[in-house]
DNA sequence: CATCAGGTATACATAATTGTATGGATTGGC
DNA sequence: GCCAATCCATACAATTATGTATACCTGATG
């Protein structure tokens, strides 16, 4: 067999791929933990090697040429295969030391995960933990994380999913704020209150209106995706927001908003990992640990 | 987007792939024009990076571990994509300078191609030519060559095929050898002659027996795939072999074996290139040049 | 059982790649 | 129309990967 077509520097293909996807050399360099000159040189070397202009240098970032757009398909295929390789390789590794990346919501990352991670670090000092706190869905097939903890069952195939616990939440407000509202005693009275939503589309809005509220966007003067910010605003008496029962009940500055007809918010929390990774000792250790910790957490809370 | 899974050194994946396919680090190094220590270090680094043993070091060569066998599937996919990338990239290149690899039979490479290449080199000094002279079928999809000139239509898809010329051949023998045989005048008399075949399976044998000969393997005391060797043996009066009409007729040491009922050997010669390469200026230049040269060649010979 | 061919691993010098620092250029906002 | 931010290209130093030479190992062969 001959390998003429394979002799080229594959790292240059990688540089091409990431640069094309990220849109600029600088962004690609950040993504790959390299420097912009390095990426620039790799891409330039690839262009010279194959004799094809891949990008048009524009003031702001780079732009794929028509040829580049066709060729990026192939390096994307390489990247997909590289992903599968990496995924499968990690699954077959049996060394316990190393990095584990967990992605979860800001709520869980802030209020629930930290003590668990502390405990895990003590029992497994060789495992380094990286937590990506984002409310965006992440793609485990691309190994954006090893383990995800989400409040929905992911749609992707090839994943292992397990229910962690049933989360229960309520509306909370600062005592001072409720007093200012005149201690509302019905849903109707709450219709003039202010709430904090995650996004303009109004997730909380539609949830509450489904329960008999009659809210409009006027009731949501503050919008932030960041749960911590939400919570601080509520503690300061700015508005009302939803919060996990166990967190809200333990915060002295706030109290549950209790009116007839208002039912608790419930959701399920799932832990997810890629099928391939389940066979990795390190991933399995963390996965099982979290499952067990969340079981303890739920039991402890249910009893109290 | 995150690129955790893609950050690893892709050249190490390439080293893994070629080593697995070739069976040893040394062979892989030869295939990639690198040195064995380099390949060894790359593979070792990959093994350490992913924490998986890919090969068992054995005295003679390396042997894939079970994990390695599974993982090589993915790097093979990377390699296939790399192939497609390379193929497509070369097709989109518009620089005329560079290397072109032509594979053809020993016969054509020795007797017909050289003057054409000489002429091409003069008109296109920027194009470097590499000629692979082998009677084995080569795989253009894997870019073992850019252009192939063969006496059969290749079965592979994605190829561009064009008939170059009709080749005519005869049996030739040294005058001295024919005298020793008593200047045979019939096929029957030739049945006691010696011939030279390409391989043990007996391509020439079956060809001649189909024409009324009654030959066995005893008639083929010398077997060599190498046409040059065949031809030299014939000139020395060792045996009879087939040869292109225009070459044989111009060789004073030999003469056509002419007996009643013996018909010329005919075949078609095809030029082949990959579809993607046809759009490459360099390949197209050489391709078109060869088509035109072979047309001239056939005309010139037909008139004489 | 000795020899030889082919293969792998290591030491060291060399070559190539990478990072740092910096200049120049373009875009978007005020 | 200017300023700030962002990005690309280049010079030089530091790091890293590579090749050469060589020792050592294994399996085939006579």
Cross-chain Cβ contact B6/A21 below 8 Å: no
Most confident of A106-115, A170-179, B118-127: A170-179
Average pLDDT in the A190-211 region?
82
pLDDT reported for residue B145:
82
Angstrom distance, A21 CA to D1 C1':
35
In this structure, is the CB of residue B25 within 7 Å of any atom belonging to strand C?
yes
- DSSP, res A240: B
Angle between helices B10-22 and B25-32 (to 10 degrees): 120
User: pLDDT per residue over A220-258, tens digit each?
Assistant: 877 777 787 788 888 988 889 999 998 899 999 999 999
- DSSP secondary structure of A223-236: E-S-HHHHHHHHHT
Total H helices, total E strands in chain B? 12, 11
- Token pair in block for residue A54: 């891949």
Angstrom distance, A63 CA to C28 C1':
18
Q: How far apart are CA A79 and CA A297, in angstroms?
A: 40
Q: How far apart are CA B40 and CA A43, in angstroms?
A: 27
Predicted confidence (pLDDT) at residue B263 exceeds the cutoff of 80: yes
Distance from CA of B1 to the nearest CA of A (A): 7
In this structure, is the CB of residue B298 within 7 Å of any atom belonging to strand C?
no
Distance from CA of A83 to the nearest CA of B (A): 5
User: pLDDT per residue over A282-296, tens digit each?
Assistant: 888 999 999 999 988
Nearest CA in chain B to A74: B85
Cross-chain Cβ contact B32/A3 below 8 Å: yes
- Establish how many alpha carbons lie within 13 A of residue B125's alpha carbon, considering only the half-sphere containing its beta carbon: 1
Nearest CA in chain A to B28: A3
User: In Å, how far are B42, B59, B71 from B48, measured between CA atoms?
Assistant: 10, 21, 14
CA-wise closest residue to B102 among B138, B71, B66, B70 = B138
pLDDT reported for residue A77:
92
- Token pair in block for residue A29: 């360099």
- Token pair in block for residue A157: 């195939």
Which of B139-168 are b and which e, b meaning 16 or more Cβ less than 10 Å from the residue's Cβ?
Answer: ebbbbbbbbbbbeeebeeeebbeeebbebe
Q: How far apart are CA B51 and CA B99, in angstroms?
A: 40
Better-scored residue on pLDDT, B59 or B32: B32
Average pLDDT in the B108-117 region?
85
User: pLDDT per residue over B138-171, tens digit each?
Assistant: 667 667 788 999 887 776 667 888 889 888 889 9
CB contact at 8 A, B62 and B19: yes
CB contact at 8 A, B220 and B227: no
Give A-chain residues touching B33 at CB under 8 angstroms: 7
Instruction: Output the average pLDDT for chain B.
Output: 84
pLDDT reported for residue B199:
65
Domain ranges across chain B? 4-92, 98-304
For A297, residues 6+ apart whose C-beta sits below 8 A from its C-beta are: A112, A116, A165
CB contact at 8 A, B81 and A74: yes
Of A22, A50, A88, the CB nearest to B74: A88
Q: How far apart are CA B149 and CA B168, in angstroms?
A: 16
CATH class of the domain comprising B4-92: mainly alpha
User: pLDDT per residue over B102-111, tens digit each?
Assistant: 888 878 888 8
User: pLDDT per residue over B222-262, tens digit each?
Assistant: 777 777 778 888 888 888 998 999 889 988 999 999 999 88
- DSSP secondary structure of B152-185: S----SSEEEEEEEEEEEEEEEEHHHHHHTT---
Predicted confidence (pLDDT) at residue B59 exceeds the cutoff of 70: no
Cross-chain Cβ contact B6/A88 below 8 Å: no
Angstrom distance, A22 CA to D7 C1':
13
Distance from CA of B270 to the nearest CA of A (A): 22
Cross-chain Cβ contact A11/B13 below 8 Å: no
The structure tokens 């990346």 sit at A101
Q: How far apart are CA B282 and CA B285, in angstroms?
A: 5
Query: Residue B3: helix, strand or coil by DSSP?
Result: coil
The strand pair at B62-64 and B55-57 is best described as antiparallel
CATH-assigned architecture of domain A98-304: 3-Layer(aba) Sandwich (3.40)
Better-scored residue on pLDDT, B23 or A248: A248
């Amino acid at each position: 067999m001959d390998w003429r077509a394979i002799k080229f520097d594959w790292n240059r293909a990688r540089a091409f791929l990431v640069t094309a996807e990220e849109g600029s050399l600088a962004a690609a360099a950040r993504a790959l933990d390299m420097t912009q000159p390095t990426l620039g040189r790799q891409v330039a070397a690839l262009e010279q090697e194959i004799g094809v202009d891949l990008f048009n240098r524009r003031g702001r970032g780079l732009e794929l040429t028509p040829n580049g757009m066709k060729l990026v398909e192939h390096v994307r295929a390489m990247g997909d295969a590289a992903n599968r390789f990496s995924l499968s390789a990690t699954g077959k590794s049996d060394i316990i030391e190393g990095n584990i990346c967990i992605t979860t919501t800001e709520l869980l990352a802030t209020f629930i995960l930290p003590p668990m991670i502390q405990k895990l670090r003590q029992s497994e000092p060789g495992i380094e933990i990286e937590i990506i706190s984002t409310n965006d869905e992440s793609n485990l097939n691309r190994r954006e994380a090893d383990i995800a903890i989400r409040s929905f069952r992911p749609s992707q195939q090839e994943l292992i999913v397990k229910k962690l616990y049933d989360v229960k939440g309520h509306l909370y407000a600062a005592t001072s704020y409720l007093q200012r509202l005149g201690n509302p005693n019905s849903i109707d009275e709450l219709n003039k209150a202010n709430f904090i939503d995650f996004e303009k589309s109004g997730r909380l809005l539609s949830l509450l209106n489904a329960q008999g509220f009659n809210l409009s966007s006027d009731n949501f003067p503050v919008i932030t995706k960041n749960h911590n910010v939400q919570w601080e605003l509520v503690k300061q008496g700015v508005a009302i927001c939803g919060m996990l029962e166990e967190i809200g009940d333990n915060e002295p500055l706030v109290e549950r908003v209790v009116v007839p007809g208002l039912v608790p918010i419930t959701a399920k929390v799932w832990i997810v990992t890629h099928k391939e990774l389940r066979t990795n000792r390190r991933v399995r250790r963390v996965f099982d640990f979290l499952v067990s910790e969340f079981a303890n957490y739920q039991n402890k809370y249910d009893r109290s």
